[in-house]
Amino acid sequence: MPADLHLFAVPGIPEVTQGADIAQLIVDALTRAGVAIETGDVFVVAQKIVSKAEGAVVQLRDISPSALAMEWAAAWRRDAAVVEVVLSESRRIVRMDRGIIISETRHGFICANAGVDASNVPKGFVTVLPRDPDASALQLQTGLVGRLNRRVATIVSDTFGRPWREGVVNVALGVGGLAPLLDCRGMTDRFGRTLETTIINVADELASAAELVMGKRAETPVAIVRGAAEWLGSGRGSDLLRSPAMDMFR
């Protein structure tokens, strides 16, 4: 475990539009702020700006809602076009009740509204999740390493709700240059007992930590966790999805 970690937001990231080079926007913002980057910095980037840069944005007037979407929207006072986008981003509906849709996305994420979100985008548009968050994270990491000449890692994150607990927490959708799981099996405790089953989801914990200094209103969609060098490595955010065969809550 690192001795200490430091969390701070990257100030001055401008509004991100389709085709934007997020690595360059981050480097420019760091330069303006006079922030020097260190080996082991983990950049946690809100999914929202990645989706915007990649054009993972849907204009609602282009959507023709299905009968299911229209009926659901009428019953629960939702926007039928948004409901239709949610359904089309889903490969499986996990729960659909009381106006809430929990579904499994094409990537395998299980979350509310398939990650479709209307916040921080102009009226009449919604964002969907990046097509391949690991590819997005890796491309961003490569871009940052090339420009900053430091070993750094990236996490593309989003806030998800969870069963049984209130409120959302930030989780890792995709990672670049990071070993997302810390396997403690085989370590021994202070009584010499072998730890049997503990695998820590470091990527989700880094994402949650970073969220504490990121604003929900999108002023600061990028934060840095400094001091995380020991988790640099390789791995994928998709490794964080439990396989259906092992999941007791499908």
- Between CA 80 and CA 184 the distance in angstroms is 47
Q: Which is nearer to a second copy, 71 or 219 (CB)?
A: 219
Q: Which of 118, 135, 179, 229 binds a second copy (CB under 8 A)?
A: 118
Q: Is 55 left (phi over 0), alpha (psi -120 to 50) or beta?
A: left
3-class secondary structure, 66: coil
- Residues numbered 206-235 forming contacts with a second copy, rule: CB under 8 A: 206, 208-209, 211-220, 228
The reply on whether position 200 binds a second copy by CB under 8 A is: yes
- Residues numbered 26-85 forming contacts with a second copy, rule: CB under 8 A: none
Residues 6+ apart with CB under 8 A from 148: 27, 37
- Residues numbered 132-191 forming contacts with a second copy, rule: CB under 8 A: 159, 162-171, 180-182, 184, 187-191
Q: Which is nearer to a second copy, 70 or 209 (CB)?
A: 209
Q: Which is nearer to a second copy, 143 or 177 (CB)?
A: 177
CB of 146 to a second copy, least distance (A): 26
∠ CA 238-121-19, nearest 5°, is 65
Rg (CA), the chain: 19
How far does the chain reach from its first CA to its final CA, in angstroms? Answer: 33
Query: Total number of residues binding a second copy (CB under 8 A)?
Result: 73
